[in-house]
């Protein structure tokens, strides 16, 4: 455990704590010492008779009223200014949406990426928007001294900034049911390069080079890529199309024609358009880029295939594993192990029925969990309807093989 962290939120809290605790300690010791000293000094054995008759002292009373008031006010002021610092998110913060549910956390990034741990870059403020889908939870990251409830139907937030790479605990700090103690995860603070690398593989695939060149050189200022014609022909699905030329005659679009159309646009002008396209010579567009553009226009570049959905990761990142196990152990929800070849007894409209697990049943179990309840289990499973169709399919296929 790091006693004193040097990240901004921890520092703000620690400073106030030390200030208040320090003053309290000084007062405690001071008052105790003086009390003991007076008890000894004025003990009755030494002074059998009352010594003097002081009724009051304006000076003393003023001091002991004003001094503590001032001390307490500085405590308030110091605490208040640091507290507002905890609520004012610095500019340029990365916003991450944290969803709490029984009994797990999911973090969603602006680019749509989801993770079960909170990956953050070092040296950048992070605003965490807190959402709960079911009951009260509380986001607690002790290393940053931040703790905030997540409330169903309400959005709360906290912010922090990691100053050193490392792994920092996150707990749920609001008792939320049987799995509460397991509702832990971590903040993984990565340096900039590692964070960029973490973001990479799951990003939506690198843009094709050809498209990038066309964006850089401004072709899309005149040409549309979606079939709509404007001042220039659309460059949508060109492969095999025929063109009427202004000079008369017809030509079938192929690689040679496209290369000429780019290097020397006036050689063949498409009928119905002004010959206003600038020529792109090798200095503006080298041969490799020309080839990339032509490949792109002819549809030879494979569209980046959607990354294969990793069902196991889905289970972990969406909190399924908080309730269900993979290994046959059963707690508050049926285990996934052996699910695909299982007979289950379900309760539907108050009637018991035993059925064989199949894809249709699993789909229903995911999207409409309370319609058919597995006998002996409570109706606590949240619907997974926030997942895409593809994700649901992937989960169903995966679960069938368990």
Q: What residues line the site for ligand HEC (CB under 6 A)?
A: 102, 214, 217-219, 221-223, 231-233, 243, 253, 258, 261-262, 265, 269-270, 273-277, 280, 293, 315, 318-320, 322-324, 332-334, 339, 344, 362, 365-366, 369, 373-374, 377-382, 384, 395, 399
73 makes contact, choosing from ligand HEC, Cu ion, none, with CB < 5 to 8 Å by partner type, with none
DSSP state, 76?
H
225 makes contact, choosing from ligand HEC, Cu ion, none, with CB < 5 to 8 Å by partner type, with none
| Residue 224: alpha-carbon gap to chain centroid | 35
**What are the helix (H) ranges across 42-131?**
58-87
232 makes contact, choosing from Cu ion, ligand HEC, none, with CB < 5 to 8 Å by partner type, with ligand HEC
Minimum CB distance to ligand HEC, residue 171 (Å): 18
C-alpha pair distances (Å), 144 with each of 3, 20, 160, 236? 11, 19, 7, 52
Candidates 76, 66, 116; CA nearest to 96 is 116
Binding site for Cu ion (CB under 5 A): 137, 172, 176, 183
Angle at 217 between CA 280 and CA 234, to 5 degrees: 85
269 makes contact, choosing from ligand HEC, Cu ion, none, with CB < 5 to 8 Å by partner type, with ligand HEC
Q: Closer CB to Cu ion, residue 5 or residue 176? A: 176
Peptide bond preceding 285 in cis form (omega within 30 of 0) = no
172 makes contact, choosing from ligand HEC, Cu ion, none, with CB < 5 to 8 Å by partner type, with Cu ion
Q: Closer CB to ligand HEC, residue 161 or residue 289? A: 289
Candidates 128, 164, 140, 159; CA nearest to 2 is 164
Region of 159 (left: φ > 0; alpha: ψ -120 to 50; beta: rest) is: beta
Q: Closer CB to ligand HEC, residue 142 or residue 382? A: 382
Q: Closer CB to ligand HEC, residue 70 or residue 245? A: 245
176 makes contact, choosing from ligand HEC, Cu ion, none, with CB < 5 to 8 Å by partner type, with Cu ion
Q: Closer CB to ligand HEC, residue 94 or residue 253? A: 253
Minimum CB distance to ligand HEC, residue 301 (Å): 14
Helix then strand then coil, in percent of the chain rounded to 5, is 35, 20, 45
183 makes contact, choosing from Cu ion, ligand HEC, none, with CB < 5 to 8 Å by partner type, with Cu ion
Q: Closer CB to Cu ion, residue 172 or residue 392? A: 172
233 makes contact, choosing from ligand HEC, Cu ion, none, with CB < 5 to 8 Å by partner type, with ligand HEC
C-alpha to C-alpha distance for 374 and 386, rounded to whole angstroms: 22
Minimum CB distance to ligand HEC, residue 349 (Å): 14
Minimum CB distance to ligand HEC, residue 94 (Å): 26
Region of 218 (left: φ > 0; alpha: ψ -120 to 50; beta: rest) is: left
What tokens appear for 246 in the block?
């202004």
Q: Closer CB to ligand HEC, residue 145 or residue 243? A: 243
C-alpha to C-alpha distance for 281 and 217, rounded to whole angstroms: 12
Q: Closer CB to ligand HEC, residue 143 or residue 315? A: 315
Minimum CB distance to ligand HEC, residue 274 (Å): 6
Q: Which residues contact 109 (CB under 8 A, 6 or more apart)?
A: 94, 96, 115, 199
121 makes contact, choosing from ligand HEC, Cu ion, none, with CB < 5 to 8 Å by partner type, with none
Name beta bridge partners: 172. 139
C-alpha to C-alpha distance for 249 and 264, rounded to whole angstroms: 18
Minimum CB distance to ligand HEC, residue 29 (Å): 51
C-alpha to C-alpha distance for 196 and 218, rounded to whole angstroms: 28
173 makes contact, choosing from ligand HEC, Cu ion, none, with CB < 5 to 8 Å by partner type, with none
Minimum CB distance to Cu ion, residue 148 (Å): 13
Minimum CB distance to ligand HEC, residue 344 (Å): 4
Q: Closer CB to ligand HEC, residue 91 or residue 327? A: 327
Q: Closer CB to ligand HEC, residue 16 or residue 395? A: 395
The H or E element spanning position 257 is helix 255-263
C-alpha to C-alpha distance for 69 and 389, rounded to whole angstroms: 63
| Helix 8-41 and helix 58-87, axial crossing angle in degrees, nearest 10 | 160
C-alpha to C-alpha distance for 396 and 235, rounded to whole angstroms: 40
Name beta bridge partners: 149. 138
Minimum CB distance to Cu ion, residue 85 (Å): 27
């Amino acid at each position: 455990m790091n006693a004193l962290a040097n990240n901004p939120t921890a520092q703000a809290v620690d400073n106030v704590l030390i200030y208040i605790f320090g003053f309290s300690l000084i007062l405690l010791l001071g008052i105790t010492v003086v009390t003991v000293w007076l008890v000894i000094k004025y003990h009755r054995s030494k002074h059998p008779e009352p010594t003097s008759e002081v009724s009051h002292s304006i000076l003393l009373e003023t001091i002991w009223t004003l001094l503590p008031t001032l001390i307490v006010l500085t405590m308030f002021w110091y605490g208040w200014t640091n507290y507002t610092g905890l609520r004012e998110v610095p500019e340029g913060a990365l916003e991450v949406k944290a969803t709490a549910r029984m009994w797990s956390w999911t973090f969603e990034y602006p680019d749509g990426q989801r993770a079960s741990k909170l990956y953050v870059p070092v040296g950048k403020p992070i605003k965490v928007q807190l959402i709960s889908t079911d009951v009260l939870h509380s986001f607690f990251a002790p290393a940053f001294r931040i703790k905030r409830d997540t409330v169903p139907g309400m959005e709360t937030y906290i912010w922090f900034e990691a100053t050193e790479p490392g792994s920092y605990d996150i707990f749920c700090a609001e008792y939320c049911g049987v799995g509460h103690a397991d509702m832990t995860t971590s903040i993984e603070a990565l340096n900039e390069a590692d964070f960029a690398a973490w973001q990479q593989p799951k990003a939506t695939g690198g843009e094709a080079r050809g498209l990038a060149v066309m964006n850089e050189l401004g072709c899309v200022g005149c040409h549309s890529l979606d079939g709509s014609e404007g001042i220039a022909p659309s460059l949508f699905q060109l492969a095999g199309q025929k063109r009427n030329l202004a000079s008369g005659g017809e030509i079938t679009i192929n690689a040679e024609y496209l290369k000429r159309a780019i290097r020397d646009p006036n050689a063949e002008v498409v009928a119905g358009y002004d010959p206003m396209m600038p020529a792109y010579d090798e200095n503006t567009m080298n041969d490799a880029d020309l080839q990339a553009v032509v490949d792109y226009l002819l549809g030879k570049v494979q569209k980046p295939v959607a990354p294969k959905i990793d069902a196991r990761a889905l289970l972990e990142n969406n909190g399924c594993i908080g309730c269900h196990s993979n290994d046959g152990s059963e707690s508050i929800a049926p285990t996934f192990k052996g699910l695909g070849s299982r007979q289950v007894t379900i309760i539907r409209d108050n009637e018991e029925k035993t059925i064989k697990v199949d894809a249709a049943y699993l789909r229903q179990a995911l999207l409409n969990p309370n319609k058919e309840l597995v006998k002996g289990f409570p109706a606590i499973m949240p619907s997974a309807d926030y997942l895409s169709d593809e994700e649901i399919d992937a989960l169903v296929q995966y679960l069938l093989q368990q």
